[in-house]
Amino acid sequence: MKALLPALLLTFASLTVVFAKGGRPINDVCPVEGKPGRPIYRIFTDEGTIIFCCADCVEAYQKNPNRYPVKKSEK
C-alpha cells in the first residue's frame, strides 16, 4: 500500500509533463491511418500538438504533411 502513493504521484507527474509542452492535442484521430491517436506518438506544430496512432504514421506525416490533413477535435 505504501508503494501505491508514490506510483500514483509518478504517473500524475508523467501525464503532466506530456501535456505541459504542447498542451492538449488538436486531434483525436490519426491523420494518416484514421485510427484513434495515442499521445505517446506526437509532434508539436504551430497549430498545436498533433497525435498519431504509431511511429510509422509520425514519420509519414513529417515527410509530407500536406498529404494528411488534420481533423481537429471538437473539444
* Structural domain total, the chain: 1
Higher pLDDT, 74 or 65: 65
Output Rg (C-alpha) for the chain, integer angstroms.
15
* Residues of the domain holding 61: 4-67
The answer as to whether 74 is a domain residue is no
The answer as to whether 10 is a domain residue is yes
For 10-64, what is each residue's pLDDT tens digit? Answer: 666 665 555 556 689 999 999 999 999 999 999 999 999 999 999 999 999 999 9
The answer as to whether 72 is a domain residue is no
The answer as to whether 44 is a domain residue is yes
Question: Which three cell numbers mark 24?
Answer: 492538449
Distance CA 72, CA 75 (A): 9
Whole-number Cα distances in Å, 8 to 3, 16, 59: 9, 12, 32
